[in-house]
Amino acid sequence: MYISANLKYIFVKGFSVTSESRRDFIKYAASGVVGLIVGLGLGYSIAPRGVETVTTTIPTEKTVTTTITIPERKKLKAGWIYVGPIGDYGWTHAHDQGRKYCEKKYPWLETTFAESVSEADVGRFIDRMITEEKCDLVFTTSFGFMDATVEAGNKYPNKLFFHCSGFKRSRNVGTYFAEFYQLYYLNGLMAGALTKTNKVGYVAAYDIP
């Protein structure tokens, strides 16, 4: 089964892009990704932990007390790989807010991250998260990380990977993104309403060496 060919549509339908800022939208989108992954059947279901005592009363016989030990579920560990610093108050900062939101919301989730990772080094960081930090899934959050993410999917077939803004997918590699053109449209409306010179400018994304 191919994973999440159109995750971006899930995000748009799940949240109102006309009332959320770009950063908040990314934060909730990241939360939606993790929720979807769990729903795909990773086996990390939420279950009660610890010891439970069950008392059964048998009529005219006796009361039997049985102690049942419920095995503790293993936590799901997810890693985020960022192209910039988490303090940039931009793309990476918004992603990291999403990571923190997910970890706070889901008690069965453990997270880790690596910041300021170059495209040339992303493969090495993925390897580290899988082999040393024992991550079950990895989010790669820059377009330039796409090929390395697909290669990692082939290298680690029993792990899951999600790449932001890319288009290459495989059995265990999915993609996610937001319908940003809708937000850009609102940006344009605001700029047009506020300009005093009838001139507006826009700084688009650009390659990071």
**CA-wise closest residue to 17 among 183, 184, 185, 189:** 183
**CA-wise closest residue to 206 among 94, 84, 86:** 84
Q: How many CA atoms lie within 13 A of 42 on its CB side?
A: 25
Which class is 7-40+73-194 in CATH? alpha beta
Q: What is the pLDDT of residue 94?
A: 95
Q: What is the pLDDT of residue 206?
A: 74
In the chain, where do the E strands start and end? 50-57, 63-70, 76-81, 109-114, 137-140, 160-164, 173-176
The pair of structure tokens assigned to 75 is 């936590």
pLDDT digits (tens, 9 = 90+) for 112-124: 999 999 999 999 9
Q: What is the pLDDT of residue 60?
A: 62
**pTM of the entire predicted model:** 0.64
pLDDT digits (tens, 9 = 90+) for 24-67: 545 554 555 544 444 444 444 434 445 555 566 666 666 667 77
Q: Is the pLDDT higher at 139 or at 36?
A: 139
- Compute CA distances 106 → 38, 40, 100, whole Å: 11, 16, 10
Q: What is the pLDDT of residue 180?
A: 87
Q: Is the pLDDT higher at 206 or at 106?
A: 106
- Which residues are CB-neighbours of 162 under 8 A, at least 6 positions away? 3, 4, 33, 37, 137, 138, 139, 140, 173, 174, 175, 176
Domain boundaries defined on the chain: 7-40+73-194
pLDDT digits (tens, 9 = 90+) for 167-197: 999 999 999 998 888 989 999 999 999 999 9
182/24 Cα distance (integer angstroms): 15
The answer to whether residues 44 and 107 touch, using CB atoms and an 8 Å cutoff, is no
The answer to whether residues 102 and 161 touch, using CB atoms and an 8 Å cutoff, is no
The pair of structure tokens assigned to 60 is 């005219």
Q: What is the pLDDT of residue 1?
A: 40
Q: What is the pLDDT of residue 141?
A: 97
pLDDT digits (tens, 9 = 90+) for 60-110: 666 667 777 766 778 999 999 999 999 999 999 999 999 999 999 999 999
